[in-house]
A and B are shown apart, each in its own frame.
Chain A
Amino acid sequence: MLAWTIYISFLAAFLLLLLPKNSATSARLLALLAAITGFAIALTAFIHHRNGELLTVTRIPWIPSLGIEYYLAADGISLCLALLTGIVAIAGILFSWNIQHRTKEFFAFYFLLIGSVYGVFLSYDLFLLFVFYEIVIIPKYFLIAIWGSTPKEYGAMKLALYSFVGSAMVLIGLIAAYAASGMHTMSLTGLAQAHFSLHFQLVAFPLVFIGFGILAGLWPFHTWAPTGHVAAPTAASMLLAGVVMKLGAYGCLRVAMTLFPLGLSPWGFHVLGFGSWRDVFAILAIIGIVYGASVALVQKDFKFVIGYSSVSHMGFILLGLMTLNQIGLSGAVIQMISHGILAGLLFATVGRMVYDRAHTRDLYVLGPMNLSKAIPFAAITFVIAGMASMGLPGFSSFVAELMILIGAWRAFPILALCVGLGILIGIVYVWRAMQKAFFADSSKEERVVAEDHGAAALPPITLPERLGAILLIATSITIGLYPQILLKLIVPALNSPLFDGIRRRSW
């Protein structure tokens, strides 16, 4: 049944293309319907999931000569992320209700993206996973290049090339693993037991980890993220930050770390104080956290603030992965979901509620428009989203970041202090952006200028936007108040035999 999340999305993409011209409303309704169906299927599977079970959805031979199978399956982690995809997909459609230009094509590309994302999360055959992972690049490019805002062509191409380079690295790693294993299979469960030599794992691990890490915003390969996010139309940046970056993080955990656990073992010598790839990536993650937050602090462009905040939050996920202890890893998975929701919400507020009305993203121009009066709903949403993003208790990110911090404290105590610095800067940049954009003290003349700009006549917030915002906020609070609903799926999944290599840490 779960496989239908993928099929429905692709089917929707196809049907949307067949719609007659000028049928924007029916395109929107069809899109919403398909997204809700996908979400409902994911939710049903999520509810019916029994602890620790690996739910095999389909498993049929695909290319027998190479032992490749069409193998879809889901454990707790996949299910949580599929559910996230469903939620963000619905919210994305609600927030792109105002797309007028080539509406049906927009939603067709949108569903091509959604279907492939579901596919990546549900694939248990590495070849299949790679196929879906690579399809994602194409709709991303066109969503940004056609419906984005300047510099759209630059941002789109940069994103496409970065992703393609990343997936090229993954491809080399996967083919090498296939050839080195000598086994006639590409399935994750099969290759995870292949016992690659230590030397091979030490080379293949960083290759595949960085390959996926590029899409996860791993510093210093993150530069596609801010430009891509800023150029993308609202729904695309919601998906990009919400689920596409998660694909990278998911790949790091699911492919790089399960196939090559020995890649994390000590090298046996030290270079510049680094003793293993684990140290290297932990440091890069922390640099990402602090650097992303610091750069977000000085941006003039509202969307860039959120773009760099994504880099910072993705750093938490990668750090959580590198702790290698259960609490850190589960924290990382919760952070994937939490950031997926919150980044979606922040981009929706900035891109749809503010930018589509004010037609500027410059914090210094937005200030005098007195947005807290003009569109109070946007201001409230941003305050809530900002609080959640800072990691205030009661929101999902609090749980996630706390768990990652505890994990990091156990693994690298000194580095955990730097993370604290990153959190602190995180509070400041959200505060600054909030204050400048919504609650600026503006002088009389400035207000007059802004009113000439048309600030007084900002159209009110529409119903779909309200629904979308409420959906995302509710999800974040639910997870924040009762993280057990996710943890009871994630923890057994992390204890499954698949992660034995990491858990045992046999080095």
Chain B
Amino acid sequence: MTYTHLLHLALPEVIIVITSVIVLAVDLLILSNSTIKTRFTAASLLATLGCATAIFDLVRAPQQADFLNGVFLTNPLINTVQIILLALSILTLLLSTDSTFTDHVGEFVTLILFATIGMMFLVATEDLLVLFLSLELLSLSLYILTAFDKLNPRSSEAALKYFLFGAMSAAFLLFGFSLFYGLANSTSFAQIAVAIHAAPSNPLVIIAIVTTLVGFGFKVAAVPFHFWAPDVYQAAPVPAATFIASSSKVAGFFIFFEFMAIALNGASGGAAWMHFVTGWAPVLAIIAAASMVLGNLVAIRQTSVRRLLAYSAIAHAGYMLLAIVAHTPQSLSALLYYVTTYALTTIGAFATIGVVEQQTGSDHLSSFNGLSRRAPVLSACLFVFILSLAGIPPLAGFFGKFFLFVAVISSPGLVWLAILAIASSAVSLYYYLQILKRAYVTNPDDDTPLKAPAFTQLVIVLLAASVILFGCVPSLLIH
């Protein structure tokens, strides 16, 4: 193992790093006097090109290696997740080409790329130290992205809130990690698993588990660590909010699953109804149940569509946590399918909201009045995204839920969680239909057609088509 070897293994990440430098340089040195529109287009296209090269490299030369006992891994599964992350970043970048909220274009795109690098390292490690470092790289980029709309005070407020909660939870995470290190004398997942297997109900292990759950729970916005989500979703610039709601979720859930299933497998306990066994599974089951119920109930009362999506994201996080509670290989593939299709759908929904917000000046429910007549194509896409989130077949969201619930019910004793999830998803139909009711039933306040930028609209239509496609042919994505 040499450094050349490492560089070779990390070629996709290296490509993104180089891309981010190029983007920054081109924007600051060459395009600094151009219009924002040109700069955004150029920066996004450059970044897209970089991401596409990285994807190409991952597809062309898939590798299987384990560098320094899990510090840096590559295998087909991780490659797939990285490809998904890069593809989601590309979509976010393409949708940001029509943004006008900032004139620091190069920095904005570079930060998105930095966050992408953080995510790529995050999913490719089985080591606490690298996990923490890449998580922080990701989180710090996201805090700045949230605050990027300097003209909007709420954007800064949300970022501050996000940062304070985030810093706190990072401290919790680090504290838990230090306990694990003390226990196992190593930062590698495998060593920790061995140490925990030897003493599963050591009080130190329990404290470490709880503090780690706080850290990860914050990352995936699960109740009761969800307070940042509504503000960030509502006030962050649309591309940033899209990014936080989609790709960071994919990476967060993947590493959360890996950490729990590999490092803490010996201390999982049991979450079977009335037969809780000490460990992280029952805690996670309760967090999941609370997220589903609270997320869905609070979403009913929202009038801002972005806030509504934030609470729905909390509920979805609850569903996805069920896969971690079950922690079987089947539930990992169900989780990946769910989180990927969820990310695609969310990107589409946010892009649509972004267009509406740009034209009407607000994301209030009433801005969507009569959208089907003001922008038929856009509202047809919104129809697809929202129904997919609600889990109506044959859209991707339904199959995600189906696979997840099959995986959960197949593990003994977890039927109660699946029943709770299905019941609370029945509640969610109500608020999802509220959005569609505005778009299709209510008469528009003014009849002028919305002018959606052609390129954005094209990407949105492609996203809607992919949501339908992954729904009709789910086996495309399942392996």
Mark A residues whose CB is within 8 Å of B.
62-66, 127, 130-131, 134-135, 137-138, 141-142, 145-146, 153, 157, 160-161, 164-165, 168, 171-172, 175-176, 178-179
5 A-B pairs besides A135-B393, A145-B441, A171-B405 with CB distance below 8 A are: A137-B392, A165-B423, A168-B426, A176-B409, A179-B410
User: Which residues of B have CB within 8 Å of A135?
Assistant: 392-394
Known: A65-B475, A171-B405. A142 touches B440 (CB 8 A): yes
Q: Is B196's beta carbon under 8 Å from chain A?
A: no
- Interface residue ranges of B428-448 to A (CB < 8 Å): 429-430, 433, 436-437, 440-441
User: Which residues of B have CB within 8 Å of A137?
Assistant: 392
**Is A161 within 8 A of B429, CB to CB?**
yes
Q: What does the 1/0 interface line of B364-390 toward A look like (CB < 8 Å)?
A: 000000000000000000000001000
**Is A134 within 8 A of B474, CB to CB?**
no
* Interface SS of chain A: helix
User: Which residues of A have CB within 8 Å of B479?
Assistant: 65
Known: A63-B478, A137-B392, A138-B392. A171 touches B429 (CB 8 A): no
**Is B478 within 8 A of A65, CB to CB?**
yes
The distance in angstroms between the C-alpha atoms of A317 and B441, with both chains bound, is: 35
Known: A63-B478, A160-B433, A179-B410. A168 touches B422 (CB 8 A): yes
**Is A164 within 8 A of B437, CB to CB?**
no
User: Which residues of B have CB within 8 Å of A153?
Assistant: 437, 441
- Interface residue ranges of B395-414 to A (CB < 8 Å): 398-399, 402-403, 405-406, 409-410
Partner of B429, one of A130, A160, A172: A160
Known: A66-B406, A134-B398, A137-B392. A157 touches B478 (CB 8 A): no
Q: Is B223's beta carbon under 8 Å from chain A?
A: no
The distance in angstroms between the C-alpha atoms of A172 and B430, with both chains bound, is: 20
**Is A63 within 8 A of B475, CB to CB?**
yes
**Is B387 within 8 A of A138, CB to CB?**
yes
User: Which residues of A have CB within 8 Å of B418?
Assistant: 172, 175
User: Which residues of B have CB within 8 Å of A161?
Assistant: 426, 429-430
**Is B441 within 8 A of A165, CB to CB?**
no
User: Which residues of B have CB within 8 Å of A62?
Assistant: 475
User: Which residues of B have CB within 8 Å of A141?
Assistant: 433
Q: Which of B399, B406, B422, B479 has the most CB of A within 10 A?
A: B422
User: Which residues of B have CB within 8 Å of A160?
Assistant: 429, 433
User: Which residues of B have CB within 8 Å of A179?
Assistant: 406, 409-410
Q: Is B18's beta carbon under 8 Å from chain A?
A: no
Would you give the shortest CB distance from A119 to chain B, in whole angstroms? 10
The distance in angstroms between the C-alpha atoms of A145 and B410, with both chains bound, is: 39
Report the 9 A-B pairs with minimum CB-CB distance, sorted nearest first: A131-B393, A145-B441, A168-B422, A168-B426, A179-B409, A179-B410, A164-B429, A165-B426, A164-B426
**Is B475 within 8 A of A131, CB to CB?**
no
User: Which residues of B have CB within 8 Å of A178?
Assistant: 406
**Is B474 within 8 A of A172, CB to CB?**
no
* Interface SS of chain B: helix
Q: Is B133's beta carbon under 8 Å from chain A?
A: no
Would you give the shortest CB distance from A69 to chain B, in whole angstroms? 12
The distance in angstroms between the C-alpha atoms of A165 and B426, with both chains bound, is: 6
**Is B409 within 8 A of A175, CB to CB?**
yes
The distance in angstroms between the C-alpha atoms of A420 and B32, with both chains bound, is: 87
The distance in angstroms between the C-alpha atoms of A175 and B418, with both chains bound, is: 10
Q: Give the size of the chain B interface in residues (CB under 8 angstroms).
A: 30
A-B contact pairs, 12 of them (CB 8 A): A66-B403, A66-B406, A127-B402, A130-B393, A134-B392, A135-B392, A160-B429, A161-B426, A165-B426, A168-B425, A168-B426, A179-B406
The distance in angstroms between the C-alpha atoms of A64 and B476, with both chains bound, is: 11
**Is A146 within 8 A of B394, CB to CB?**
no
Look across to chain A and name the residue whose beta carbon is closest to the beta carbon of B422. A168
The distance in angstroms between the C-alpha atoms of A66 and B393, with both chains bound, is: 16
The distance in angstroms between the C-alpha atoms of A364 and B469, with both chains bound, is: 54
**Is B478 within 8 A of A172, CB to CB?**
no
User: Which residues of A have CB within 8 Å of B393?
Assistant: 130-131, 134-135
Q: Is B419's beta carbon under 8 Å from chain A?
A: yes
Mark B residues whose CB is within 8 Å of A.
387, 392-394, 398-399, 402-403, 405-406, 409-410, 415, 418-419, 422-423, 425-426, 429-430, 433, 436-437, 440-441, 474-475, 478-479
Would you give the shortest CB distance from A123 to chain B, in whole angstroms? 12
The distance in angstroms between the C-alpha atoms of A86 and B425, with both chains bound, is: 33
**Is A176 within 8 A of B394, CB to CB?**
no
User: Which residues of A have CB within 8 Å of B430?
Assistant: 157, 161
User: Which residues of B have CB within 8 Å of A134?
Assistant: 392-393, 398
User: Which residues of A have CB within 8 Å of B410?
Assistant: 179
The distance in angstroms between the C-alpha atoms of A161 and B433, with both chains bound, is: 10
**Is B409 within 8 A of A142, CB to CB?**
no
Would you give the shortest CB distance from B296 to chain A, in whole angstroms? 13
The distance in angstroms between the C-alpha atoms of A63 and B399, with both chains bound, is: 10
Look across to chain B and name the residue whose beta carbon is closest to the beta carbon of A145. B441
Q: Which of A64, A161, A172 has the most CB of B within 10 A?
A: A172
Known: A63-B478, A65-B479, A175-B409. A168 touches B440 (CB 8 A): no
The distance in angstroms between the C-alpha atoms of A157 and B431, with both chains bound, is: 10
The distance in angstroms between the C-alpha atoms of A142 and B437, with both chains bound, is: 8
The distance in angstroms between the C-alpha atoms of A160 and B387, with both chains bound, is: 13
**Is B441 within 8 A of A146, CB to CB?**
yes
Look across to chain B and name the residue whose beta carbon is closest to the beta carbon of A207. B419
Partner of B405, one of A142, A145, A164, A175: A175
The distance in angstroms between the C-alpha atoms of A179 and B433, with both chains bound, is: 31
Q: Which of A161, A164, A165 has the most CB of B within 10 A?
A: A164
User: Which residues of A have CB within 8 Å of B423?
Assistant: 165, 168
The distance in angstroms between the C-alpha atoms of A178 and B423, with both chains bound, is: 19
The distance in angstroms between the C-alpha atoms of A175 and B401, with both chains bound, is: 11
The distance in angstroms between the C-alpha atoms of A157 and B425, with both chains bound, is: 15
**Is B429 within 8 A of A63, CB to CB?**
no
User: Which residues of A have CB within 8 Å of B429?
Assistant: 160-161, 164
Partner of B419, one of A127, A138, A142, A172: A172
The distance in angstroms between the C-alpha atoms of A64 and B426, with both chains bound, is: 28
Look across to chain B and name the residue whose beta carbon is closest to the beta carbon of A165. B426
**Is B475 within 8 A of A64, CB to CB?**
yes
Would you give the shortest CB distance from A100 to chain B, in whole angstroms? 15
Would you give the shortest CB distance from B384 to chain A, in whole angstroms? 11
The distance in angstroms between the C-alpha atoms of A127 and B394, with both chains bound, is: 11
User: Which residues of B have CB within 8 Å of A66?
Assistant: 403, 406
User: Which residues of B have CB within 8 Å of A146?
Assistant: 440-441
Known: A153-B437, A161-B426. A131 touches B405 (CB 8 A): no
Would you give the shortest CB distance from B91 to chain A, in whole angstroms? 25
Look across to chain B and name the residue whose beta carbon is closest to the beta carbon of A170. B422
User: Which residues of A have CB within 8 Å of B394?
Assistant: 131, 135
Partner of B433, one of A64, A131, A157: A157
Would you give the shortest CB distance from B452 to chain A, in whole angstroms? 18
User: Which residues of A have CB within 8 Å of B419?
Assistant: 172
Would you give the shortest CB distance from A21 to chain B, in whole angstroms? 10
User: Which residues of A have CB within 8 Å of B436?
Assistant: 142
Would you give the shortest CB distance from B387 to chain A, in whole angstroms? 7
The distance in angstroms between the C-alpha atoms of A175 and B410, with both chains bound, is: 9
Look across to chain A and name the residue whose beta carbon is closest to the beta carbon of B333. A65
The distance in angstroms between the C-alpha atoms of A153 and B406, with both chains bound, is: 34
Would you give the shortest CB distance from A128 to chain B, in whole angstroms? 9
The distance in angstroms between the C-alpha atoms of A261 and B149, with both chains bound, is: 62
The distance in angstroms between the C-alpha atoms of A141 and B386, with both chains bound, is: 15
User: Which residues of A have CB within 8 Å of B433?
Assistant: 141, 157, 160
User: Which residues of B have CB within 8 Å of A164?
Assistant: 426, 429
The distance in angstroms between the C-alpha atoms of A131 and B396, with both chains bound, is: 12
User: Which residues of A have CB within 8 Å of B405?
Assistant: 171-172, 175
User: Which residues of B have CB within 8 Å of A172?
Assistant: 405, 415, 418-419, 422
User: Which residues of A have CB within 8 Å of B399?
Assistant: 63
The distance in angstroms between the C-alpha atoms of A164 and B392, with both chains bound, is: 10
The distance in angstroms between the C-alpha atoms of A244 and B310, with both chains bound, is: 35
The distance in angstroms between the C-alpha atoms of A63 and B387, with both chains bound, is: 21
Would you give the shortest CB distance from B265 to chain A, in whole angstroms? 22
Would you give the shortest CB distance from A172 to chain B, in whole angstroms? 6
**Is B422 within 8 A of A145, CB to CB?**
no
**Is A63 within 8 A of B474, CB to CB?**
yes
